[in-house]
Amino acid sequence: MENHSLLSLTVALLGLLSPCLTRLTPRVSFPIGSPGRHLTRFSNPDVSNTTTLLLSEDGDMLYVGARDAVLALDVSHKDTIILRSKLDWSPSEKDLEQCSMKGKKMADCPNFIRVLQFLNTTHIYACGTFAFSPRCTYINSETFMMSVKSDEGRGRCPYDPYQRNSAIIVDGELYTGTVADYRGNRPVISRHLSEGRRVDLKLDDTLGWLEDPTFISSTFIPDEEKIYFFFSEVGREYDFIDKFIVSRVSQICMSDVGGQRTLQRRWTTFAKAQLLCQADNELPYNVIQDIDTLPPVEGAPADDTLFYGIFTSQWSVNSGQSAVCSFRLSDIKSVFSGNYKVLNRDTLQWSTRVQEKVANPGECGLHNASDNALRFVKENFLADDSVRPVGRSLTLVSAEHSYSHLTVQRVQAANNRDYTVLFLLTESGYLHKAVLLQSGAHIIEEVQVFEQPQPVRSLKLSIPKGMIYVGTSEGVVRVPTANCSFYWTCQQCVLARDPFCGWDPFCRACVKASNTQPSIGQDVDRGNVEEACNSVSLTHRARFGPNILPAGELVSVSLNEVVRLQCPAASRLSQQLWERPNSRLSSDLYLHLEDGSLSFVATPTTLGHYLCLSTENGYQQTMAIYHVKQKSNPVAQTPTSYTWPQTHRIPTTQAVARRRPGPGLHASVGTWPKRKETRQGETEPTVPSRDTQVTTRQLGRNLTLWTEESGQKEAEFWDGVPLVLARGPCYLKELVVVSVLLVLCLSLLIIMLIYVIRQRYRSRTAPQAGTPTRDLDRRTPVEQEALRGNQFLSKCNGQALHSGQASGLVCNGALTGSNGHLPNTPI
């Protein structure tokens, strides 16, 4: 009981201080099948449950561990992945029979490959669960034949295919973290395949070394001659909280050969420390999900090695959220060289009692140390200090995405500066590409990798080939790390802020940036189009002036009809703005809809010209121009063609105007004519599909493609540019729903306002009881506490402090809610 109240207090306090989460929206989105991002898939009816991926050094071959098979895939070709060899490695009928007799499900009895590493120049070492009786084998990487020699896999590979493990081979020795028994309760970090004087080592069997760990990954740091393991486990040192999970980094020295009497054939150099993914005074993201190593830049000391990890929270207050933290090797080293907690093996209690230091735990080269020193090491292996993230802050926090895997790369941009790029896989199957900037993380794009969420065991980055491989249960998907040619104007190329890409003013194309082209237009830090594209000399968009009044797209309407003008977003980060010549858009007459479109009732005052501008990062471009006219002859409904007065390219859009009550008829549906973005004497960029006019048929095909594939997505995209679909009569329904919601929002706001004012004027002593929502009721008291704290602080983004803006917040919530949830509006 006492424990619980303490826990709730901690959580409540931490929750109270939770940060305001900023929305991290990918700038562009590529749904499955998008022509802007060509994915290569490998799947084979006999191949399933891809678990491990191993890339050859040159990046031409990808070895895949799957269910009952190891594959060699040739990935050196641009358009296809070719199966070179397949090695079948499955348990015999007898093995399977025994497995199911032991009470295991038949579906879990195959051989799931969980270790796949290069052993030496000629052989690959592989281990699999093999019907709950793990085995290892040697595979000749030339002939792709299994050698007759095989090893028992105990301690090298888990028995249970659902248990996570880690394995790495360095100098022909295998270092593993896994459970070493059938039941799955003897976790061990061990070394295998040692020869001669070097003996196989493992953790001592006594309790306390590892507490129900989940192994995530291990890495070898050559300069340190150490292997680091990353895992999460129960943090027994926090004995006031039940099953508090902590993330750990642990180390062992490669030179370790065990003690002479004490710790014989056991690690003498094992030490572990807590990894804290927590900004000061905030709720911790305590469960590590994945981690990747970013080596230091050439010439920099190994101490600058960074580890980027994804962390989630054990508490459902933060469920669905994840954070990325980075840790510096030098910080890990200094924690390991500091003080250690002491384990009393009788009571299994940790204390920070200061002892006379007879040895330095974690130090390499203790094999000739005295028994006294080794006994000391045996009791002191948990560092007192925790490893804190670089800058004591989180690298990235995502409130809406649960990331499961990541890989990190340093990219040199055109200005010769290095940028860190993270590739983050969401549980729902999207790969986010984020660049870390001074101002925070910017998500350049997201690529949908698979349609149905499925377990991913492995994500591999091939830097030389610029490819990412995702191992899914169906096979392997290859995603290029960038496709610069997708951006076909300098503005788009610069606004993307992709360090891989820059605008080449001579070729007039967005190209792969390299430091050898000094003239390249790029501004990763600020995305300043005006500066980076100055060589392209942007003619500023012509606004409505007294003289130039562009015709735009003609929309013929009858009076009192509800008109809806569509405006495509230039990107997900852009904001749309509507303008009329010489008049303001009063909110009495115009409804700005969430998708950027404008809705109003056709009256003599609302007839005329409309211009939709899109602003992103300070750069404004015209997205659409309409001329709303009263219908003279109901038969003539052809939209007029129109040539742009300025150089901004306008994506194809459709204008739809509808009658209000009658059978939803298209008053006019027009396809915006595209103009080639060419100026005198300049050559066209060679992107044919873009620069030729989009025919209606082509467009139609694209449209059907997206409507079929992205059923629940909010906006449809064509080549990454959102297309606003003209759907049948359902707009009327939407409009009604939107209007009802708006009215609800407004009345709620008014009620809230009245309530607040009354509270203020009535009694200042009355307790301010919040109205508990159903959502809140389902939570535990602990979470409610923490949640209240969050709600209180989520206002500090400046979103909800003023009453006028509060309505925006509420309404936004109602209209955006991408998952379809309405906010807790009492209806």
Ligand X SMILES: *[C@@H]1O[C@H](CO)[C@@H](O)[C@H](O)[C@H]1NC(C)=O
Q: What residues make contact with ligand X under the rule CB under 6 A?
A: 35-38, 48-49, 108, 112, 119-123, 138, 161-162, 365, 368, 454-455, 473, 480, 483, 485-486, 687, 719
Residue 368 CA to residue 362 CA, distance in Å, equals 15
Tokens of 794: 């989520």
The nearest distance, CB 347 to ligand X, in angstroms, is 35
Least distance CB 95 / ligand X (angstroms): 16
Contact 48, 36 (CB under 8 A): no
CB of 302 to ligand X, least distance (A): 23
With both helix axes pointing from N to C terminus, report the angle between 803-816 and 730-761 in degrees, rounded to the nearest 10.
150
For ligand X, give the closer residue by CB, 162 or 240: 162
CB nearer ligand X, residue 36 or residue 187: 36
Q: Say if residues 166 and 176 touch (Cβ distance below 8 Å).
A: yes
Q: Which long-range contacts (CB under 8 A, 24 or more apart) does 95-98 make?
A: 95/130, 95/131, 95/133, 96/131, 98/131, 98/133
Task: State the nearest-atom distance from the C-beta of 477 to ligand X, in Å.
Answer: 13
SS3 assignment for 611-678: EEEEEECCEEEEEEEEEEEECCCCCCCCCCCCCCCCCCCCCCCEEEEECCCCCCCECCCEECCCCCCC
Cβ proximity to ligand X, 123 vs 779, nearer residue:
123
CB closer to ligand X, 37 vs 333: 37
Cα–Cα dist 562/314, whole Å = 50
Q: In this complex, which beta carbon is closest to ligand X, that of residue 362 or of residue 789?
A: 362
Residue 112 beta carbon to ligand X: minimum distance, rounded to whole angstroms: 5
CA distance 353 to 719: 63
Under 8 Å CB-to-CB from 818, ≥6 apart: which residues? 400, 714
Give yes or no for a contact between 542 and 548, defined as CB atoms under 8 angstroms apart: yes
What beta strand segments (E) does 38-134 contain? 40-43, 52-55, 61-65, 69-74, 82-88, 113-118, 123-128
Q: What are phi and psi of 414, to 5 degrees?
A: -65, -30
Q: Which residue has the tokens 């006379």?
A: 356
Q: How far apart are CA 542 and CA 647, in angstroms?
A: 10
At which residue do the structure tokens 């203790």 appear? 366
Nearer to ligand X, 473 or 784 (CB): 473
Q: Which amino acid is at 690?
A: R
Between 120 and 638, whose beta carbon lies closer to ligand X? Answer: 120
Tell me how far, at minimum, the Cβ of 813 lies from ligand X, in Å.
Answer: 34
Residue 367 CB, shortest distance to ligand X, in Å, is 6
Amino acid occupying residue 687: V
Q: How far is the CB of 34 from ligand X (least distance, A)?
A: 8
Interatomic CA distance for residues 442 and 499, integer angstroms = 11
65 closest CA partner among 136, 12, 122 = 136
Closest distance of CB 125 from ligand X, Å: 8
Least separation in angstroms between CB 406 and ligand X:
20
Please identify, using beta-carbon distances, which residue of 159 and 381 lies nearer to ligand X: 159
Shortest gap between Cβ of 183 and ligand X (angstroms)? 17
Rounded Cα distance between 760 and 208, Å, is 57
Region for residue 513 given its phi and psi (left: phi exceeds 0; alpha: psi -120 to 50; beta: otherwise): beta
Decide: 613 and 621 in contact? Cβ < 8 Å.
yes
- How is residue 45 written in tokens? 């009816």
| Distance between CA atoms of residues 726 and 799, nearest Å | 32
Give 289 or 321: the residue with its C-beta nearer to ligand X.
Answer: 289
Q: Of 326 and 473, which CB lies nearer to ligand X in the complex structure?
A: 473
User: Which two structure tokens, joined as six digits, stand for 693?
Assistant: 């006019």
Q: Does residue 456 contact residue 450 with C-beta atoms inside 8 Å? A: no
Residue 112 or 270 with smaller CB distance to ligand X: 112
CB of 190 to ligand X, least distance (A): 19
Nearer to ligand X, 677 or 785 (CB): 677
Closer of 138 and 419 to ligand X (Cβ): 138
How near is the Cβ of 278 to ligand X at its closest, in Å? 31
**Closer to ligand X by Cβ: residue 551 or 687:** 687
Percentages helix, strand, coil for the chain (3-state, rounded to 5) are 20, 30, 50
The least CB distance from residue 257 to ligand X, in Å, is: 9
